[in-house]
Copies of this chain bind each other. A is one copy, B any other.
Amino acid sequence: MARDTRVGILEAATDLFGVRGVDAVSLDVIAAEVGVAKQTLLYWFPSKDDLVQAVLVQAATQLSVAIEAAIRSANDDPLDRIEAVVRAVFRPAVRRPALLGLIREVSRLSPTVGERFQSELRPLVDRAVAYLHKEMDRGRIRHADPRLIAGLCYATVTGIATEPEVLRSVGWQPTTAELRRLRTELLAFLRAALTPVP
């Protein structure tokens, strides 16, 4: 059973932290959700910060894996690859909005936790930059600061993932079909933005 407890805690914590926010979720609540004593939770993760960090590192790792897989499965065209990556990122973000909520909280959390999260993603980011530069030199993607490209991708993902939430916050109830159309359009815009000018 042992290891299962850890996994269960991690899963419950991910969902709860993401949905309600790290501060709003007490250790008691997580423990109750998992069906275990709070002390058991503190046995696996010596402090709440440790738990938060573990959750984030796990999320970063899953993200990395998903992105790598997406890159491999896409064909050679850089625009296709970028779209595949964006899709890979927003798929879990849409399915589990918790994740995005958590990642947004990173900058607020203790610096140690934040840095750990960064360092987990750093290699991927570095590889991406190198790749973009290469393809820009080959003229297969619009020449621009990689940060711009990252910014565009990020805007697309957050646009996609938080739209339902935001639309709802001004009183609109979008259907899933409508959301799918929005996503398609946003992706088309991203692609147009990155296509090299002839």
Interface of A with B (CB < 8 Å)? 19-21, 23-24, 103-108, 114, 117-118, 121-122, 125, 144-145, 147-148, 150-152, 154-156, 158-160, 162-163, 165-172, 174, 178, 181-182, 185-186, 189, 192-193
- Distance in Å: Cβ of A157 to nearest Cβ of chain B: 9
Interface of A is mostly: helix
**Can you list the 10 inter-chain pairs with the closest CB atoms, starting with the nearest?**
A155-B159, A23-B23, A23-B24, A151-B163, A189-B193, A155-B155, A125-B170, A151-B182, A158-B158, A118-B171
- Distance in Å: Cβ of A155 to nearest Cβ of chain B: 3
- Distance in Å: Cβ of A133 to nearest Cβ of chain B: 15
Pair A118/B20 contact, Cβ less than 8 Å: no
Could you list 24 A-B pairs, sorted by A, with CB under 8 Å?
A: A104-B104, A104-B162, A107-B169, A114-B169, A117-B169, A121-B170, A122-B170, A122-B171, A125-B170, A145-B178, A145-B181, A147-B163, A151-B159, A151-B166, A151-B182, A152-B185, A152-B186, A152-B189, A154-B159, A154-B163, A155-B160, A155-B163, A155-B186, A185-B193
Number of copies of this chain in the oligomer? 2
Q: Which residue of B lies closest to A128 (CB)?
A: B170
A148-B181, A148-B185, A185-B148 known; A125+B159 contact, CB < 8 A: no
Task: Tell me, in angstroms, the Cα distance from A170 to B171 when the chains sit together.
Answer: 34
- Distance in Å: Cβ of A11 to nearest Cβ of chain B: 20
Task: Tell me, in angstroms, the Cα distance from A145 to B166 when the chains sit together.
Answer: 16
Q: Which residue of B lies closest to A117 (CB)?
A: B169
